Amino acid sequence: MEHDQDSHDKLNVLATFSKATEAHCLCATLESNGIRACVANETSNTSLGASWFGPISAIWVEVLVFESDAEKALEIKNRLADDMVVEEEIPEWICGCGETVDAGFEICWSCSTPYAGSGDDDTTTEESED
């Protein structure tokens, strides 16, 4: 039974999340890139009541990948995290149509014009200084 010890059979924890939806988003992204992934401990927050005294690994939702896919999966996870940080850096801005768009949104809710800082269009302006 030596083949049971092959590296491709071992599961590694790629990431942990407090919410199952975040874990499923990463899992779906990995699978769309050809990496087999699964979510573990999905119901542990509910069943344990998310106790402050319990071991963290018992209450956090985990994304698991095979060891042979771990390096590529980590690259994808890091790219995804970098993309999320960029989106969060968009400040509150005033669109060319005059509507104020909340921070983090790169498209005007009123006229669908993209934020000027996104590089898609230069018809929007950042909120003016008082």
Query: What CATH number does the domain containing 53 carry?
Result: 3.30.70
**d(C-alpha 23, C-alpha 100), whole Å:** 32
Query: Which tokens in the block code for residue 12?
Result: 């590694």
Range of the domain at 51: 2-86
Question: At 120, is the secondary structure helix, strand, or coil?
Answer: coil
Look at residue 43 and tell me whether its pLDDT is greater than 90. Answer: no
- Look at the block and give the residue holding tokens 């018992």: 58
**d(C-alpha 33, C-alpha 35), whole Å:** 6
Pair 11, 66 in one domain: yes
Name the domain count of the chain.
Answer: 2
Question: What are 45-92's pLDDT values in tens digits?
Answer: 544 445 555 555 457 899 999 999 999 999 999 988 876 654 557 788
pLDDT for res 121: 41
